[in-house]
Amino acid sequence: MRISIILLFLTAIGCGFFKKNKQNTNVSDINVVQNDSNTPLGYKTLQSFKGDTLSYIKENFLNNKRSYIGKDVNYLIGNLEVPVHHYLPHLLTEVDTVSGMTLLFYSDVQREVRGKNKVDPLVLVLKWKDSMPFDSIGTITRKNKLAWTDNEKKYIGKQIIKDISLVKYN
């Protein structure tokens, strides 16, 4: 099963490599959400990006990643207006631990089609502050087939975010 998870992860990143985004979005008619305790300051709604999910993710979660670093994964996912299709844990095979996760917003077929059409497949990468043993999440990942469910929220969702990046698509 570990080999399958590693292969899934490698497939997800096969279209590029991780990069930190430094691009700023300049959109004149962006709606900024009024700040409350659950929404980071300066958060812009998906609607304000007129269907451009990539710009929405880059602006709110990469350019504004300081709002999420030091907070748990559930906080970030709770602010997403885009549903997470599934996630992939980052397995460090030499020490049998998980150091982070990849959030995928499209199915495997949709990502393949987007790649063939030269459209960014939108793969968000979260690195955690502390690793956790693979055995502790292996049962959950097999049971829920990498879908983000209440079980994941209770256990994996408590992991603290150390860094956020995006898989670079060429």
pLDDT tens for residues 53-112? 989 999 999 999 999 999 999 999 999 999 998 999 988 766 788 999 999 888 888 888
Residue 4 confidence (pLDDT) above 70: no
Report percent pLDDT > 70 for the chain. Answer: 76
Pairing mode, strands 18-19 and 161-167: antiparallel
Residue 32's pLDDT is 44
Residue 125 confidence (pLDDT) above 80: yes
> Contact, 128 vs 140, CB < 8 A?
no
Residue 138's pLDDT is 83
pLDDT tens per residue across span 35-63: 445 778 789 999 999 989 989 999 999 99
Residue extents of the structural domains in the chain? 2-167
The 10 Å Cβ neighbour count of residue 48 is 16
Q: Which residues is 103 bridged to in the sheet?
A: 87, 124
Across all residues in the chain, what is the average pLDDT? 78
DSSP track, 106-162: S-HHHHHHHHHTT----EEEEEEEEEEEHHHHHHHHHHHTT---HHHHHHGGGPBEE
**pLDDT (average), residues 14-20:** 35
In the three-class reduction of DSSP (H, G, I as helix; E, B as strand; rest coil), residue 4 is classed as: helix
> Contact, 155 vs 86, CB < 8 A?
no
**pLDDT (average), residues 147-161:** 93
Instruction: Label residue 26 by pLDDT band (50, 70, 90).
Output: very low
Q: Which residues is 125 bridged to in the sheet?
A: 102, 165
**pLDDT (average), residues 128-154:** 89
Query: Which one is predicted more confidently, 8 or 135?
Result: 135
